Structure formats: C-alpha cells, structure tokens
Amino acid sequence: MNAKELSEKLLYRKKSVYEKADKKTVDAAFDFAKGYAAFLDAAKTEREAVYTSIKMAEEKSFRPYKMGDALKAGDKYYYNNRDKNLFLFVIGNEPIENGIRINAAHIDAPRIDLKQCPLYEEGGMSFFKTHYYGGIRKYQWVAIPLSLHGVIVKADGTRITVNIGEDEGDPVFYINDLLPHLGHETDKKPLGEAIPGEKLNVLVGSRPYDAAEGDAIKLNTMYLLNEKYGITEDDFLSAELCVVPAFKARDIGFDRALLGAYGHDDRVCAYPALTALLQEDAPTHTLMCVLADKEETGSEGNTGMKSALLPDLINQIAVALGGDPAVVRANSKCLSADVSCAYDPNFSDVFEKRNTPLLSCGVVLTKYTGSRGKSSTNDASAEYVGWLRGVMERAGVVWQAGELGKVDVGGGGTVAKYIAGHNIETVDLGVPVISMHAPFEVISKVDLYEAYLAFIAFSRD
Ligand code: MN
Ligand code: MN
C-alpha cells in the first residue's frame, strides 16, 4: 500500500459535497433550495413559520391533534402551541415503546421587537422604540430596509395580523445611522458600543396630520394605523410587533451555490426537518418534528423547549398507544437541529481550523456546544454519535464534525440540553452558516440538502 492509499484508509479528512456526491445530488440540492427560499420569504417570524408549516402539513393530510385523541399507526398530526411552536408527528408501525425519532429545530430568529409604548415623535419624524430579541450585532441593523410583522390583540379579543414591507408596493422602515462626516468620535468606539440598544429606533413617518399642533407627525402615524387596522395607541400594549430585514432570499455568487437570507438560523434546519417528516406515510418508527420558539432568548416560556409540552405530548402519544411514557422517552432519539458556524477566512483568528465546520462539506454533527469548559452543554455520548455515524454512512450522507470557534473565544447553546434532560438521546446536527445572526446570513445549498438527507436517514434507519 502506498502512502496515498494508506492515508485514504487511515486518516480523517473533510471532503466537500462536490467531491463526495454525484452531480444528480448536487442538482437536487439546488432544486431543494428553491422551495427553501420560498419558505424563508413566507416565514420571517415564528408565527409565520407556524402558519406556513401547517399549510404544508395539511397539504400532506396532517390533521390538528388534541391531547387525549386516539392514535393508530399511520396517523399524521400536528399540534399548534399558541401559534409560535409546532409539533408534527407520524405514528409508526412498530411498538411505541421502541421510542420516537425526534428532529427539533427552532423557528424564532434574532430581530428587533417593538416596546409596549413604542410610538413617539422627534425632529420632524415619528419612530418606534424597540427592544431587540436575541443576540444581534446592533451596528448591522441600521441603514437597511426593514419590514414590520406581528399581531395586535385588542382588549375585546380582536386579533389583527400585521405584515408590511414584504410586497413590492409596500413601504419599508428604517433605523437611522450617523453620517461618516460626523462619525469620527463614534468610529473610535468598540463595535458593540457604537450603536446602543436605545438608538435602535425605527423611522415610521414624517408627515403631520393636517396642521395640528404638537406631535402632529405621531398623530398622523396613529391616524394611518387606525385607518388601516382600527387600533388606538393603547392597543400596542397587547401587541407583538417586530421589525425584520425586508430582504428576500437571494442566490449568492456567480455559480449561485450559496443562498443569502434573513433567518437561516434556524430555518435552514427547520425546513429540511419539516419536509423530511412531511413525506413519510407509513414509517416504521414513530416520528416527530419540533419547531421551537424562544431558542434565541434561552428557550424560556411556554413556547420554548424548557416548557413541559414536549414530555407531555410524548406521554400522551405513549398512553394512547398503550406504552409506558418513561420507556418511550428512554428509547427515543433526537437530533437537535440547529445551525453551526462555518469557517470564515476573513476572521480566521477565532476558529480552530481542525475542528470548525467548513462550508459545503456537508451537514455538521456537533457532539457538544456550550462555552468555557463545556459548561451548559449536552455532550452526546460516544455510543450515540457512533450509532449516528453508522446511520449517515448507510445512507451516504455527507457530514462533518465541528464545534463553534476556539475554546476560549466564546460559544453558544442549543435546545439539545433541554431535550436530553427528558432522558432522550440527543445530539446537535445542522447546517454551517456564514455571518450567523446578521440581517442577511449565508449558507451553502449542498449543506442544506445534506441536512435534509440526514433527517430522512435518521427517520428511516
Ligand atoms: Mn440557532
Ligand atoms: Mn441563533
């Protein structure tokens, strides 16, 4: 055996999907990305992601599930948790005590929420005060077109859906930035301090109502909102409104192999996890797809993965099929499907190249996340990771190992530890992203497709 052959046999080397997969797979990946791009444009908030996913599920004969419903093999259900968090499941043919195969991704993304008393006027303009949601680099959110999404619930229960800035004819919104001519002092500040949170005020108007005195621009803004939505200023008190980038998903590069969009984290895992489940009709295993909310703020609250709803639903399914819930959980397996960070040569100093995911080298299996000495992580067992390696190999999925950046530089978490806490085997798997949490993030189409293939392999093995 010569050195080249021996090296192929003994040494681990990441290979790109273009090197390992055939042209048919690459073509399929580019095609799959079209459906994903449409999903991204339709689902910029967790609520919109829930509605879009339900529509897709109903087209595949999924029906709404109520706790206590009888269940049998082949049943396809979804459970809508407060319009922000969705569970979909297909009952398998094998005994439920063999466990459930769970793919869990999140559908919330970093953004800028309106405060409860948002509207004010100053300097000939009206603005919304905001409180950002999730980890953003604030300087990235100024001077870009923004759209407004969300719901307003009036005291009488009337619910108004808001979506402005996405259609061609819509106006967009904006956060002012300082001109370079007057920016010399600001330019000396660290990036994290140049744009403080209280400067993220969204420009929404500049024309006064008639010739009214005092706050006439604010009044006109409120007048227009009243005309369009029938709301008064106090209705903001019970609203969930947020601004997100108004961009659509777009191909990036001459070869169109990358996709740029707002909110790849974590729709780039949610979409393939969902579509992988929707095509299952009579699976062997019982399958579940979880689309979680609140991951970006710590998975808190009744729509986040720290809530009791996941074990509650597993218990309901177990009992309906005559299984012991504890046994079902103990035999369940989960892919915590969340993005990973791709090596970026522009910022090579924060990455440890041997253990960082590379763009277009396939879906990333992350044994542990966390930070500073593996704190706050689910560290998946060698046994579980070993089993998954076999699953991927049998299905020919192109995958790579990877962790987030250098040991002492920072870190991050996912929902994995909350699911593992229910005594469920869990490991992180997802798509590598460039410029994660930026208003416009970048992924590789072939990595997206390998994630889809990984979810199918995991469901069927
Ligand atoms: Mn994420
Ligand atoms: Mn994130």
DSSP string spanning 223-246?
A: HHHHHHH---GGGGGGEEEEEEE-
Which residues neighbour ligand 1 (ion) by CB within 5 Å?
265-266, 338
Residue 265 CA to ligand 2 centre (angstroms): 5
All residues at 6 or more sequence positions from 51 whose CB lies less than 8 Å from its CB, including other chains: 43, 83
- In the reported structure, the alpha carbon of residue 266 is separated from the centroid of ligand 1 by a whole-number distance in angstroms of 5
Give the tokens for residue 111: 């953004």
Report how far ligand 2's centroid is from the alpha carbon of 230 (Å). 35
φ, ψ for residue 124, nearest 5 deg: 80, 15
pLDDT of amino acid 373: 85
Q: Is there a contact between 431 and 339 (Cβ–Cβ < 8 Å)?
A: yes
Distance 108 CA to ligand 1 centre (A): 8
Distance 423 CA to ligand 2 centre (A): 24
Structure tokens that stand for 259 in this block: 């996709």
CATH topology of domain 3-109+262-460: Aminopeptidase (3.40.630)
CA–centroid distance, 437 to ligand 2, in Å, is: 6
Q: What is the pTM of this model?
A: 0.97
Q: Kindly report, residue by residue over 341-356, the tens digit of the pLDDT.
A: 999 999 999 999 899 9
Note the residue count of the chain: 461
Task: Supply angle C-alpha 449, 311, 292, rounded to 5.
Answer: 40
**Which residues face 105 on adjacent strands?**
291
The residue type at 102: I
pLDDT number for residue 32: 98
Please name which ligand lies nearest the alpha carbon of 297. Answer: 2
Q: Which ligand is nearest to the CA of 436?
A: 2
- For 381, how many CA atoms within 13 A lie in the half-sphere containing its CB? 9
- For ligand 2, the distance from its centroid to the CA atom of residue 433, given in whole angstroms, is 10
Ligand 2 mean position to 415 CA, how many Å? Answer: 11
- Each domain of the chain, given as residue ranges in start order, spans 3-109+262-460, 111-245
Which ligand approaches the C-alpha of residue 270 most closely?
Answer: 1
Could you please state the CATH topology (level 3) that the domain comprising 111-245 is classified under: Aminopeptidase i, Domain 2 (2.30.250)
- How many A from CA of 338 to the centre of ligand 1? 5
Q: Which residues, given as ranges, of the chain have pLDDT below 50?
A: none
CA 414–ligand 1 middle distance (angstroms):
6
Quote the pLDDT of residue 425.
Answer: 97
- Three-state DSSP state, 442: strand
CA of 413 to the centre of ligand 2 (A): 8
Omega before 113 within 30 of 0, i.e. cis: no
Centre of ligand 2 to C-alpha 293, Å, is: 11
What is the number of the ligand closest to the CA of 266?
Answer: 1
Determine which helix (DSSP H) or strand (DSSP E) holds 341, and give its type and residue range. strand 340-341
CA of 296 to the centre of ligand 2 (A): 5
In whole angstroms, what is the distance from residue 434 CA to residue 360 CA?
11
pLDDT the model gives residue 371: 83
Residues 119-139: tens digit of each pLDDT: 999 999 999 999 999 999 999
Span from the CA of 9 to the centroid of ligand 2 (angstroms): 37
CB 369 within 8 A of CB 413: yes
Which ligand is located closest to the Cα atom of residue 296? 2
Cα-to-centroid distance, 29 and ligand 1 (Å): 22
Q: 140 CA to middle of ligand 2, Å?
A: 15
Compute the half-sphere exposure of residue 40: CA atoms within 13 Å on the CB side of its CA. 30
Cβ–Cβ < 8 Å for 155, 230: no
The pLDDT score that the predictor gives to residue 69 is: 98
